[in-house]
Amino acid sequence: MPTITFSLSDLNRLVSRRLSTDELAGLLEYGKGEFEGYDKDTDQASVSFDDTNLPYLWSVEGIARLIRHVLGLSKGIEKPGLEKADYSLVVDPSVRNIRPFIAAFVARGKRVDDYLIKQIIQLQEKLCENYGRRRRKIAIGVYSFKNISFPVHYRATDPDEVSFIPLDFSDPLTQRQILNKHPKGREYAFILEGLRKYPILMDDKGAVLSFPPIINSAITGKIEEGEEDLFFEVTGIDLEAVNLACNIFAYALSERGFTLSPVEIRYHDHGALTPDLGCSTIKISEGHIQRILGLSLREAEVKELLERAGYDFVEWTATIPPYRADIMHPCDVIEDLGIVYGYNRISNKPLSSYGRGELNPKTIFIDKLRELVIGLGYQELMSPVLSNKGLLYEKMLTSDQGTVEIEEFMSETYSVVRSWIMPLLLDALSKNKHVSYPQLVFEQGITAVNERGRIRERERLCCLNASGEVNFTVARQTAEYILRSVGIRYAVEACDDPSFTPGRCCRLVAGRPLAIIGELKPDVLEKFGLEMPVAGFEMDVDQLHNRLKEKKQS
């Protein structure tokens, strides 16, 4: 839950209206924010956000933009003016499998003071830690523009090839030494674990700007009071997230009066201009609004409401601002329309039908399974239902089992529905190698497969044990204990599976396959960057439940 602090006087200047704390608290509800308090002596206000889908609000500039729209002081999408692209950044192919994406821009013409530096750093840290998943997904660098010779170069180097003086140090260190000696290096070393080369950002004269996503150079990467021209860059593993963070920062600096100059990003096979302030559109209809909100609104009324929500709207088509990536469906637009209209203004309807609810028997069975696994010391995880083929099959060294694909996916990372759970748990283990072992994790959830054009959803349970002591026997004992505890008889069949070590894999069957158990192949573990042995199993919960029902009926 991000919490940000800022000067209330500064917010009032950005809004062009004097707001009381009560007015601010009420207006924050339009952005799903909560007013935490105000210190009159320091003029410092605190705001928290439960909804992490609106990262542009994690800055006083973003909050001011929201309030101006709600109050009708601004209408529709405000676009920062961009100067001619006079700067470029060259991306070397060596970063392709390490940290492949980057966006950048130059902000000029506004003298920064101590307060503004703190606001820039606050937004940087909130985006990196929350939206950026502790810098793994995206990380942001801010630099003094005057010391940089363009074009800037982004490439990967051997850990001992390049040395520079990192922030808060006085002596040069290699990248390997930074990960071992610098506080930020030790804190974020897990992001680069298992890599043979590390990303580096240098200017055209060979001066190091930063070692993303770890630390900036003490020479170019430190902003001081009085600076007027800044260079911003965002690196990451998700292009959409990189561009969104770049856009959020570009808008924030434009609010402050900076002039923005885009940077041409030159990849080896294509180019891009950032920040990319292009907008997408979504069509809605009067009938759709009526079905969801129960409101009959004319087009002019919808236009007025959506402009107060920050959209442009023409002929039933909503244009989405470039600092938002949470709008994926007409329902999202209509939700924002309802927020601005005021849900408290929508009258209640009496219930037209009555019923008595109770838990589905399968839900009761699933809860019993979860309790059994938790009792064995496993920690429950919740992974996204959407995934990608690279994670589900390529890393697991297995073939496509019939994937349900998303037709118009927003990100390659979430382009298919998961067909099994084990790859996602391995991915979670790979991101927690800095945590002590043993690590026992499990997940129960929905999966889907495409069987000759017919989509079948299945509830599955997966348990993984990562430790120096784990083996096939331990995993089998755990799986068999669960089946015995719920009263299911089974047989054991040897099997070969490309994800598991030969001779260390089996299936539990009872007329149909119930579970697969095994030790993960070293090649699979290497794909995930795991050095600790991992064994586990995955069960078909629907088959288990059906087997119990058959047993009761016989």
pLDDT tens by residue, 261-287: 999 999 999 999 999 999 999 999 999
Q: What is the pLDDT of residue 201?
A: 98
CA distance 132 to 242: 9
Q: Which two tokens stand for residue 504?
A: 């260390």
- Assess whether pLDDT exceeds 80 at residue 78: yes
Mean pLDDT of 384-394: 94
Q: Which CA distances in Å does 100 have to 50, 239, 267?
A: 31, 8, 10
CA distance 169 to 182: 8
Amino acid type, 357? G
CATH T-level topology, domain 87-274:
Phenylalanyl-tRNA Synthetase; Chain B, domain 3 (3.50.40)
Superfamily holding 361-553 = Bira Bifunctional Protein; Domain 2 (3.30.930.10)
- Assess whether pLDDT exceeds 90 at residue 401: no
Contact criterion met (CB below 8 Å) for 481 and 371: no
Q: Start-end ranges of CATH 3.50.40.10 in the chain?
A: 87-274
Q: Which among 142, 154, 162, 148 has a CA at the least distance from the CA of 90?
A: 154
Q: Start-end ranges of CATH 3.30.56.10 in the chain?
A: 3-70, 281-341
Contact criterion met (CB below 8 Å) for 25 and 8: no
Q: What is the pLDDT of residue 221?
A: 87
Contacts of 362 (CB under 8 A, 6+ apart): 459, 541, 542, 545
Q: Which two tokens stand for residue 503?
A: 């001779």
pLDDT band at 151 (very low <50, low <70, confident <90, very high): very high
pTM of the model as a whole: 0.74
Query: Read out DSSP for 194-239?
Result: T-SSEEEEE-TTS-EEEETTTEEBTTTS---TT---EEEEEEES-H
pLDDT band at 434 (very low <50, low <70, confident <90, very high): confident
CA distance 514 to 61: 55
Q: Start-end ranges of CATH 3.30.930.10 in the chain?
A: 361-553
CA distance 445 to 237: 26
- Assess whether pLDDT exceeds 80 at residue 529: yes
Mean pLDDT of 124-133: 94
pLDDT band at 413 (very low <50, low <70, confident <90, very high): confident
Beta partners for residue 523, in sequence order = none
CA distance 20 to 9: 10
Q: What is the pLDDT of residue 541?
A: 96
pLDDT band at 474 (very low <50, low <70, confident <90, very high): very high
Task: Kindly tell me the number of DSSP H helices and DSSP E strands found in the chain.
Answer: 16, 28
Q: Which two tokens stand for residue 105?
A: 């821009």
Pick the CATH number of 281-341 from 3.30.200.20, 3.40.50.970, 3.90.420.10, 3.30.56.10: 3.30.56.10
Q: What is the pLDDT of residue 266?
A: 97
Angle between helices 541-553 and 361-375 (to 10 degrees): 120
Mean pLDDT of 31-39: 95
Q: What is the pLDDT of residue 471?
A: 92
Q: What is the pLDDT of residue 351?
A: 80
pLDDT digits (tens, 9 = 90+) for 317-359: 999 999 999 999 999 999 999 999 999 898 888 888 888 888 9
Mean pLDDT of 92-103: 96
Q: What is the pLDDT of residue 348?
A: 83
Residue 554, number of CB atoms within 10 A of its CB = 5
pLDDT band at 473 (very low <50, low <70, confident <90, very high): very high
Q: What is the pLDDT of residue 220?
A: 87
Q: How many residues does the chain have?
A: 554
CA distance 347 to 343: 9
Beta partners for residue 273, in sequence order = 264
- Assess whether pLDDT exceeds 80 at residue 410: no
Q: Which two tokens stand for residue 124?
A: 């940087």
- Assess whether pLDDT exceeds 90 at residue 89: yes
Mean pLDDT of 123-151: 95
Q: What is the pLDDT of residue 156?
A: 98
Q: Which two tokens stand for residue 508?
A: 């539990």
Q: What is the dihedral of CA 37, 41, 44, 47, to 10 degrees?
A: 0
Q: Which among 284, 286, 262, 266 has a CA at the least distance from the CA of 274?
A: 262
Mean pLDDT of 413-424: 94
Task: Report the mean per-residue pLDDT for the chain.
Answer: 94
Q: What is the pLDDT of residue 1?
A: 74
CATH code for the domain defined by 3-70? 3.30.56.10
Query: Read out DSSP for 305-363?
Result: HHHHTT-EEETTEEEPPTT-----SHHHHHHHHHHHH-GGGSPP---S--------HHH
pLDDT band at 412 (very low <50, low <70, confident <90, very high): confident
